[in-house]
Amino acid sequence: MADQVALRKSAQTEILEKFRANSRVDLIRIAGPRDCSTAQTIQGVYSKKEIPELPMHGCSRAEGCICAYKPVLNDIYP
């Protein structure tokens, strides 16, 4: 289980850094499952600097945190 958490953290960190570096991404949204009370407390739209780290510690899902970063774009065409 600890290996899975480390793998998820690494993947989420990589995604977050790509969104932060992308000038077309204005904000970042956290999306999570409805059956997770922890996800319900952190879901929302954040600035690139103030977004919480994923996976969330204390996730209420038995399988672990599956929350994800989603970009909010300022320009959808190249």
What does the pLDDT profile of the chain (78 residues) look like in tens digits?
A: 678 878 888 999 999 999 999 999 999 999 999 888 889 999 999 999 999 999 988 888 888 889 999 999 998 776
CA pair distance 42, 24, nearest whole angstrom = 23
CA pair distance 55, 75, nearest whole angstrom = 28
Let me know the angle formed at the C-alpha of 75 by 70 and 77, rounded to the nearest 5 degrees: 105
Global pTM reads: 0.86
CA pair distance 59, 18, nearest whole angstrom = 24
Of 17, 21, 19, give the one whose Cα is nearest residue 71.
Answer: 19
Task: List the chain domain ranges.
Answer: 2-73
